[in-house]
Amino acid sequence: MGFLADALSRVKPSATIVMTQKARDLKAQGRDVISLSVGEPDFDTPEHIKQAAVEAIARGETKYPPVSGIVPLREAIARKFKRENGLDYKPSQTIVGTGGKQVIYNALLATLNPGDEVVIPRPYWVSYPEMVGLCGGTPVFAETTMATNFKLQPEELERAITRKTKWVILNSPSNPSGAAYSHAEMKALTDVLVRHPHVWVLTDDMYEHLVYGDFSFVTPAQVEPALYDRTLTMNGVSKSYAMTGWRIGYAAGPEQLIKAMDFVQGQQTSGAATISQWAAVAALEGPQDHLAEFRAAFQTRRDLVVSMLNQTNGLRCPTPEGAFYVYPSCAELIGKRTESGKVIETDEDFVTELLMAEGVASVHGSAFGLGPNLRISYATSNQLLEEACHRIQRFCGSLR
């Protein structure tokens, strides 16, 4: 009998963390590395949010919080959902976790039994299938293609659902592709879900405010009220408020589910850091001026990167609607050789050789369930992005 749990054999390490660490290691060795592997805004947390945390410390808000979150934050979350999404939730229908990842994990841990299936569109955020596996469920993948800009089509969703399906996870805008669903596109998916009353919907709306042009964000329960009683709507302050290190995610849903998640969290971590929760109150309730600034900066960066990658030998890059990632195909470069003679057999080979040859860190698409692609984060300066794209162009041009 082995010491470690069998469940660990079903889980892979996070490719984004692995590539980011490789980039850090090379930098520590003195290499000039541009890291485009991290899903983290390069902006600082807005000043009024930081000040709210300072004031919370000064008031002595340093004790254990309630497991589900401090009352002012749960009230602010309920107001946010009403104000921005047209969703009516009582504070008792909300929960706060240590980041969105914990919120999702708690929902799965509280609901999955062995044999239960969770439908996950691919490409997917690397953690979804691993969390499902750790919670004893079975991930079932619904396919998307570049031809549909990596958006799940209703017929593919229908095909993936079985009598064992307990959840469908929908992430819009998407990590890794940046794809986001319009009202009509989301309605086509919710029409399918209405026909399967045993299936619950878990939304990951973490990139809600990072959409570009005239695109309007929608979330499933907003589009189809019939799904309200079987939807967990998850969000957080990490991306839109540049608060990744503050570790605050939140969700709202049916009270029975929220109570079950509270029960799990009470025996796991208890409440999220009190000071971070007070900062999150300021994020949701305070000035929102920075959102327009973030969006404008990210849209400029997106357009720069998409343009330069589409001028790169062997890469094809769709224009995403949101988040801060692009997901170009490197299919035309599979089978090519590097100047050192290495054959590029997979997208993982591609990103590894790119890192070693040109010092540009990205993440291979197969880690997100769909390749040969790569995920590039454009959450860094225009200057670094332009230099990184020049290096990518040079590397791709050198392949034979």
The C-alpha atoms of residue 258 and residue 77 are separated, in whole angstroms, by: 14
pLDDT of residue 315: 98
Q: How confident is the model at residue 1 (pLDDT cuts 50, 70, 90)?
A: low
In this model, does residue 180 exceed pLDDT 80?
Answer: yes
In this model, does residue 253 exceed pLDDT 90?
Answer: yes
How do residues 329-381 score in pLDDT, each as one tens digit? Answer: 999 999 999 999 999 999 999 999 999 999 999 999 999 999 999 999 999 99
Record the pTM. Answer: 0.95
pLDDT of residue 38: 85
Q: Is the dihedral angle over the CA atoms 339, 345, 351, 352 positive or is it negative?
A: negative
Mean residue pLDDT of the chain comes to 96
User: What domains can you pick out in the chain, each with its CATH number?
Assistant: 6-44+290-398 (3.90.1150.10), 61-285 (3.40.640.10)
Q: What is the 3-state secondary structure (H, E, C) of the chain?
A: CCCCCHHHHHCCCCHHHHHHHHHHHHHHCCCCCEECCCCCCCCCCCHHHHHHHHHHHHCCCCCCCCCCCCHHHHHHHHHHHHHHHCCCCCHHHEEEECCHHHHHHHHHHHHCCCCCEEEEEECCCCHHHHHHHHCCCEEEEEECCHHHCCCCCHHHHHHHCCCCEEEEEEECCCCCCCCCCCHHHHHHHHHHHHCCCCCEEEEECCCCCCECCCCCCCCHHHHCHHHHHHEEEEEECCCCCCCHHHCCEEEECCHHHHHHHHHHHHCCCCCCCHHHHHHHHHHHHCCCHHHHHHHHHHHHHHHHHHHHHHCCCCCECCCCCECCEECCECHHHCCCECCCCCECCCHHHHHHHHHHHHCEECEEHHHHCCCCEEEEECCCCHHHHHHHHHHHHHHHHHCC
| pLDDT (mean) for 166-188 | 98
In this model, does residue 69 exceed pLDDT 90?
Answer: yes
How do residues 98-145 score in pLDDT, each as one tens digit? Answer: 999 999 999 999 999 999 999 999 999 999 999 999 999 999 999 999
The C-alpha atoms of residue 182 and residue 189 are separated, in whole angstroms, by: 11
How do residues 278-332 score in pLDDT, each as one tens digit? Answer: 999 999 999 999 999 999 999 999 999 999 999 999 999 999 999 999 999 999 9
Asked whether the beta carbons of 94 and 74 are under 8 A apart, the reply is yes
Asked whether the beta carbons of 310 and 316 are under 8 A apart, the reply is yes
Distances (CA, A) of 276 to 65, 69, 205, 284, 400: 11, 11, 20, 12, 51
Pairwise pLDDT comparison (3 vs 186), residue with the higher score: 186
